[in-house]
Structure 1
C-alpha cells in the first residue's frame, strides 16, 4: 500500500510540476509580447518622431542653400525606415489591421527582396478565424523560422503552407538549406520559443531535418479550439 501511495503521490507531483512549468512559460511569452509592444511604441513615438523632426530641419536647411546636406538627409531617412521596421517586427500591429494572410505575404515579400531567397506561400482562408492572440503566436513562429533560414541555413528557397483538413489545420514550413547542424541549435532560444507557442496553440510539433538537404517544421492544431468563436 505504501508503494502504491508513493506512486500516486509521485504522479500527481509530476503533473503539478508540468502544469506549473506551462503556466510559467505562458506568462513568460505574455510578458515578452508586452515588452515588445512597449519597445515598439517607444521606437515609433519617441525616436521615430525625433528623427523625423531632424529630417525636416535638414530639408529646410538644404532648400536654403546649405551644401552636403542632401546625403545626410538621405541617411537619416534610412535610419527612420530602419527604426520603423524594427518597431513593426517587435510588435506587428498590422496583424490586427490587415490580417494574418496579408501579414505573411508582406513578410515573404520583404524577405525575398532583402535576401534574394525565393519565398512562396499557400495559406487557407480559414486561418483568419483564429483569435488575435493565436495569430500572433503563429506569426512569431513563422518569423523565427524565417530568421533561422536567412541567418543560418544558406537556403535559396523557402515555402510556407497552411491547409485545412477536417477540423484541423496543418502548418508546414520548409527550406532547401543545410538543415539543423546539431542538437544545441534545437535546444536554443529560438526553437524553445517555437515549442512554447505551439503549446499555446494546443498543437503538435514535428521537426524533420535531413542535414544538408533542407529543414521542415510541421504543426498540427485544431482550428475550432483556437478560433474566435
Structure 2
C-alpha cells in the first residue's frame, strides 16, 4: 500500500469519526432539548395544579364562612331571640310559670351550645385533607339537608375509599360547585349523588330533576369550562348531559393513580 492510499484511508477514517461525533452531539442536543421541554411542561402543570389547589382552598373557606353566617343568623340567632323574650316573661310570670319558662330557656340554651359546637367543627374542618373526601362530601350533604335546600338521595359503595388530599380537595370543590349550580339554577327539590369505587377509577354521578339547560350556551359555558379544566388537572373526566324539563346528569370519572408511580 503506497502513501497516497494510507493518506486516503486516514482522511476517510477521520471524516467518519468526526461525522459520528457530530451526530452524537446532535442527538445529545436533541435529548437535552426534549428533556428541558418535558421539565418545563411538568413545571407548568405543577404550577397550574398548585394554583387551582389554592383557589379551591379559598373557595371552600368562603363557602364555610357563608354557611356559618347563615346558621348564626337563621338558627342560632332565632333561638337566642326566643330565649331573651322568655326571660323577659319571667319578671311578670307566677312561680309555676317561672319554673316552666326557666326549663324552656335552659333547653334553648342547651341547643344553642350544641349548635355552636357543631359550627366549630365545621370551621375547624375547612380543609378536606383533615377528614378525607367521603366525610367532606357527607358533611356537605348534611349541610344541604340541614338548611332544607334540597332532598338528597346519597349512595356510596365504599366509605373507606382513599384519594390523595390535594386531589380530594379539588374533586370535592368540583362536586360542591355542581351542587351549588343545582341550588341556584335547576329549580329542583331533589338531588341524587352516587359514588362508585371501582378497581382503577372512581365514578361520581350527580343528577337533578330540574328544568335543564343548554350546555352550549355561552353564559353557562364558561363555568363548565372551568370545572372541566379542574377535572383535567387531577386526571378526571367531566361529562354533562342536560335535557329541558328533565334535568341534568353529571358524571365525573376520576382515574386512580398507578401504584407504580411515585
Q: TM-score, length-normalised on structure 1?
A: 0.61
Q: Distance in 2 between matches of 1:118 and 1:89?
A: 24
Question: What's the offset of the Cα at 1:162?
Answer: 1.4
Does the residue aligned with 1:172 lie in a helix, a strand or coil?
strand
Aligned to 2:52: 29
Question: What's the offset of the Cα at 1:112?
Answer: 2.0
Question: What's the offset of the Cα at 1:30?
Answer: 2.8
- The ranges of structure 1 where at least 4 consecutive aligned residues each deviate by more than 6 angstroms after the TM superposition are 18-21, 37-44, 226-229
Q: Distance in 1 between matches of 2:194 and 2:202?
A: 10
Does structure 1 conserve the Cα–Cα contact (< 8 Å) formed by 2:241 and 2:250? yes
Measured at CA, do residues 198 and 163 of structure 1 come closer, stay the same or move farther in structure 2, by a change above 3 Å? same
Unmatched runs of 5 consecutive residues or more in structure 2: 1-33, 73-79, 88-104
Q: Which has the larger radius of gyration?
A: 2
Aligned to 2:127: 93
1:188 aligns with 2:222: yes
Aligned to 2:174: 141
Question: What's the offset of the Cα at 1:108?
Answer: 1.1
Cα deviation 1:148-182 (Å, max 9, x = unaligned)? 01111101111111113332221111110112345
Matches within 5 A, 1:55-204: 88=122, 92-93=126-127, 95-97=129-131, 99-125=132-158, 128-181=161-214, 183-189=217-223, 191-204=224-237
Cα deviation 1:83-135 (Å, max 9, x = unaligned)? x69x95897225523x3222222211221231342102112327632101111
| Count of residue pairs brought into register by the alignment | 191
Q: CA RMSD in A?
A: 4.6
Does structure 1 conserve the Cα–Cα contact (< 8 Å) formed by 2:60 and 2:173? no
Unmatched runs of 5 consecutive residues or more in structure 1: 1-11, 49-54, 63-69
Matches within 5 A, 1:5-44: 25-33=48-56, 35=58
Measured at CA, do residues 193 and 91 of structure 1 come closer, stay the same or move farther in structure 2, by a change above 3 Å? farther
Does the residue aligned with 1:161 lie in a helix, a strand or coil?
strand
